[in-house]
Amino acid sequence: MTRTFLAVLWRDVFTTTRRPTPFLVQVIVQPLLLFFVFGKVLGEAGYTRGDFGATLLPGVMALNALLVSLQNTAMPLIMDFSWSGEIEDRLLAPLPGPLVAVAKVAFGTLCGLFAGLVMAPIGFLVLDTAGWPLTAWPGVLFILLLGSATGAGIGLMLGTVVSPDRISVTFSLVLAPLTFTGSVQYPWSSLGHVRWFQVISTVNPLTYVSEGLRAVTLPGLSSIPLWTDTLVLLFAAVVAVAIGIRGFMSRALG
């Protein structure tokens, strides 16, 4: 069963590596623009302080990890269940249906982890910020892994629960709020004077990825304890994957 699971997972990985350009464009272009506009342009225009780049980098890494994992789980599922019919081939594999869904989540998680990590050297270069100590990297990998798994779980849920003809509207209603309430461009603690928006940010899982990365790379800046970030992301990932697997099996058997 393990070999079959890995074979199903490898099929998605191999397909992506055969056509890397669309994936790399998805991973690099938007966060690179965020670095350039928020970190460079606004800084030189005097609208941000000198240490803003160090605050922005963990947020953009978190955003990229969660959104890329979400999109690379949801969109293939929508295509598989609607017009390509490829999901039928996967369901014929000697593998329980729920594990086929888990393989989709695992692929999305790998995509998100890569998307988050690749932003680190780009951010160091564009934002002209100092690199992080080696002791911070295990925590960075751990939080990015949890954030990517959460994004992939949400993608599984959206890709199976939402009908294909409504997915564009759903993405518009989900992605924008996730992006702008996830403490990407600012620490969560800085919202103390905008309490209502701070409360809204509290229910966004992206906030805990952003703040978790700040907790391990910029000690003292994040006011949310790392253990809280970890527990919230674990809970969000488990709930999203459980709902997604249920929706997957309903679509697969329906």
**What does the pLDDT profile of the chain (254 residues) look like in tens digits?**
788 888 878 888 888 888 888 888 889 988 888 888 888 888 777 777 767 888 899 999 999 999 999 999 998 888 877 765 566 666 666 778 788 889 999 999 999 999 999 999 999 998 888 789 999 999 999 999 999 999 999 999 998 887 777 777 888 888 888 889 999 998 998 888 899 999 999 999 999 999 999 999 988 777 789 999 999 999 999 999 999 999 888 877 76
State residue 168's pLDDT score. Answer: 77
Helices and strands (H, E) in the chain, number of each type: 11, 0
Query: Strand ranges (DSSP E) for 115-232?
Result: none
SS3 (DSSP) at 193: coil
Decide if 63 contacts 218 (C-beta within 8 A).
no
Measured CA angle at 205 (ends 242, 24), to 5 deg: 90
Tell me whether residue 85 is exposed, middle or buried, using C-beta atoms within 10 angstroms of its C-beta: 0 to 12, 13 to 18, 19 or more.
exposed
State residue 6's pLDDT score. Answer: 82
Decide if 120 contacts 57 (C-beta within 8 A).
yes
Rg, the chain, Cα only: 18
Please, which residues have CB within 8 angstroms of residue 219's CB and are 6 or more apart in sequence? none
